[in-house]
Chains A and B, each alone.
Chain A
Amino acid sequence: MTYSSSLAMNRTRYSGRNRNSVSFALTKRKIGPISNTIILVVLACLLGLIYLTQVTKTNTYGYQIANLQTKQQQLENQKQNLEVAQAQLQSLNRVQNSSVAKSMVAVTPSATLTQ
């Protein structure tokens, strides 16, 4: 016999009619309709909050994506500008008009000289 069961037997022994006694028996608690409703509303709010948090979090990625795309576009524009600048620096007109080209001496093959 355990200690708790021995206590329970003693209490039963001394209890009787019209005697005030304390019952340690567990009673079934009931939650009323209002509590139910409040709990449901709170749960729904919690779910809504979680949903909104997730959606907001996901949507902030949209702004990050938009920012990155803007940066990507700017970098692509810079790349284009550099390519254009490079091509302009290497263009025939520029090379032809360069100081190096101007200091060159034209050589005409003697065999093709017109008379």
Chain B
Amino acid sequence: MSPKNINLKIGYIKRIRILYGVITLIVAIFVIRLFYVQIIKYSEYKNAALSYQLKQYQIPAIRGLIEAKDGNQIVPIVLNQTLYTLYADPQYTKNLQSIADKISSVIGGSKSFYANQMATPHEEYVILAKKLTQNQSNKILSFKIPGIGTQPNAYRAYPDGSLAAQLLGFVNPSGQGEYGIEQALNKELAGKPGRVKAITDASGVPLPATNGNIETAPVNGSNVVLTINLGMQEQLEQILAKDYKSTKSQGLSAIIMNPSNGQIVAMANYPTYDPANYQNVTNPKLFENAAITDAIEPGSVMKTLTTPAALNLGVIQPNTSFFDPAHWVVDGFNITDIKIDGGPREQNIASILALSLNTGAVWMLMQMGGGQIDQKGMDAWYNYMVNHYRLGQITGIEQGYESAGYVPKPNMSDPSIDLTYANSAFGQGVQLTALQLAAADSSIINGGTYYQPTLVAETISPSGKVTINQPKVLVRNVVSPQVGSDMIPLEENVVQAYLKGGFSFMNFPPQYMVGGKTGTAQVAKPGGGYYTNIFNGTYTGFVGGNKPQYVIDVYNIKPNVPGYAGSYGGQPVFADIAHMLINEGYVAPKTN
């Protein structure tokens, strides 16, 4: 090899070595930099990256349906529906009139409203319309208008409109049940939302090829089947709407209850509201199921509780007679009857109920003690009210905002306790909800078993498992079966007495047993005392064949009627309901 070639080769080797050194240096720089970024700054960069890439979503659970019996089948009365909110980003919308025309061609509405909304300055989100159907949403999106979009929202749908609205309640935009069943059984209905935690791309789509993605499936809510009979509920609401007007009422509530298991088969109030448009309601009182949220002084319907208590204590018998002085003076106050019943004379238990004798009710309270209003009598009566009839405490029905009512304690240090207890014997000075009264009367009529009132027949889990809500006994031996049997003819006698007195609407066919009791309750003034011209009309009664099949309770708030509120405000509503139950074949007639 010539020296020239040798030098050339040495030059090549040198350059290759230099190149090799440069490459090694560059690689070393990369390695050092990567070491710095990936090892030393690992946590910092990881957190920074995750903050952009790691997304957490909640997968909403599907809320359970609410269903009810319609004849022999179970039908949904509250369902779920996804509707769409149409929105615009005014920063992107151009040719507003053209866009408004296109939107109006799909969903109708005011074109000028849409155009004005889209012309809102300095806004990036304006709502153009709510509750669009999926078809409407798809049609509008098919126009591909820049700045126009739709957003899905979950709503509850009510195919029967306002039927049983206050009993059902509604679901607020946060997905929480408000009032009624929706509130009381929110946990069961709502289910448990699922969760996705994943690395996503820029548009938020999870990338499966990454470690640590977590997806927890949602647990959908259970369906709830109510005890109410839809046909009966519909007719009850029609009756209340009619009688609300005819009695010029300020509020009307009624309950139809099965006394043999505590199930509510119909419960309604008037006025009511449309739960699909609850946001339009200006008076939140309309949301309340007044039959369970509003406790009032019930008036003489209380005698259907005082009488069996005295009978069960054995201090009176169904045929007991006594001398009625027509008034009692208690704590300096004169207790008289609301009716003028002929002054002092011999009376009996049947006439206490038929003539609604306040003095008779006070006399029964006296018999519970030592022949006068005393500690023994008050303790006994308090025991019956609270421990037998479960007054002064919530029943535990599946409804929001249930009222406990009020029962005064027999506190002898209260200087007016005698008067308070005398009043309580005929339904003043105590407060009961219509439901408490219905449940207590049911426990007497059925022979002494207090069933927890319930609106739930069964729940159906997402997997289809059916859990039947068995009747729950809260108190046994409320009264003896004999006392329960004794009360039936006593209350039937009241109906017959009114029929004889000219209340023709209280005429029922002989193959049915119908009994009841009116109540004309004085209304307390806010500052103390009672109004002299304002009364609540109440009624408690039953209808059946061989035995009472339904207990019916009516609370008519401040009706404007030409007569006693109980007789002319509560009783006609009861009669309408009882006739409806009989005429529609809901009641099995007597078999003998």
Contact = CB atoms under 8 A, between A and B. Distances in A.
B81 to A, nearest CB: 5
B583 interface: yes
A77 B152 contact: yes
A80 B81 contact: yes
Interface stretch (B85-93, B153-161, B354-362): B153-161
Contact of B208 (A34, A59, A78, A114): A59
A16 interface: no
B582 A109 contact: yes
A93 B161 contact: yes
A21 B205 CA distance: 72
A107 to B, nearest CB: 9
Contacts of A54: 209
Contacts of A78: 134
Interface string B409-439: 0000000000000000000000000000000
Contacts of A58: 208-209
Interface string B142-153: 000000000010
B342 interface: no
A20 to B, nearest CB: 18
Contacts of A26: none
B159 A90 contact: yes
Which label, helix, strand, loop or mixed, suits the secondary structure of the B interface? mixed
Interface in B130-188: 133-134, 152, 157, 159-161, 163
Contacts of B579: 112, 114
B417 to A, nearest CB: 45
A65 B16 contact: no
A80 B159 contact: no
B206 interface: yes
B20 A34 contact: yes
A91 B207 contact: no
Interface string B491-504: 00000000000001
Interface residues of B, number: 38
Interface in A51-92: 54-55, 58-59, 61-63, 65-66, 74, 77-78, 80-81, 83-84, 87-88, 90-92
Nearest to B589: A111
Contact of B509 (A59, A65, A90, A111): A111
Interface stretch (B72-80, B111-119, B254-262, B399-407): B72-80
A80 B79 contact: yes
Interface residues of A, number: 32
Contact of A115 (B70, B231, B504): B504
B511 interface: yes
A37 interface: yes
A23 interface: no
B134 A77 contact: yes
A61 B75 contact: no
B508 interface: yes
A108 interface: yes
Given A83-B76, A112-B509, A93 B20 contact: no
Contacts, number: 83
Contacts of B207: 59, 62
Interface in B504-552: 504-505, 507-511
Nearest to A33: B20
A81 B159 contact: no
A36 B160 CA distance: 80
Which of B77, B152, B206, B508 has the most C-beta atoms of chain A within 10 angstroms of its own C-beta? B206
B105 interface: no
Contact of A92 (B205, B209, B234, B511): B234
A60 to B, nearest CB: 9
Contact of B75 (A74, A90, A93, A96): A90
Which of B161, B201, B208, B511 has the most C-beta atoms of chain A within 10 angstroms of its own C-beta? B208
A109 B134 contact: no
Contact of A87 (B79, B82, B134, B505): B79
A93 B134 contact: no
A62 B206 contact: yes
B230 interface: yes
Contacts of A87: 75-77, 79, 157, 159
Nearest to B162: A93
Nearest to B213: A62
Contacts of A90: 75, 159
B23 interface: yes
A112 B583 contact: yes
A22 B511 CA distance: 132
List 4 tightest A-B contacts by C-beta distance, closest first. Answer: A87-B159, A58-B209, A111-B509, A88-B159
Interface of A: 33-34, 37, 54-55, 58-59, 61-63, 65-66, 74, 77-78, 80-81, 83-84, 87-88, 90-93, 96, 108-109, 111-112, 114-115
14 contacts: A54-B209, A62-B207, A65-B208, A77-B82, A77-B134, A80-B79, A80-B80, A83-B76, A84-B81, A87-B77, A92-B160, A92-B234, A96-B234, A112-B583
Given A55-B209, A93-B161, 10 more contacts: A34-B16, A65-B208, A78-B134, A81-B133, A83-B79, A84-B79, A87-B76, A92-B160, A93-B163, A114-B507
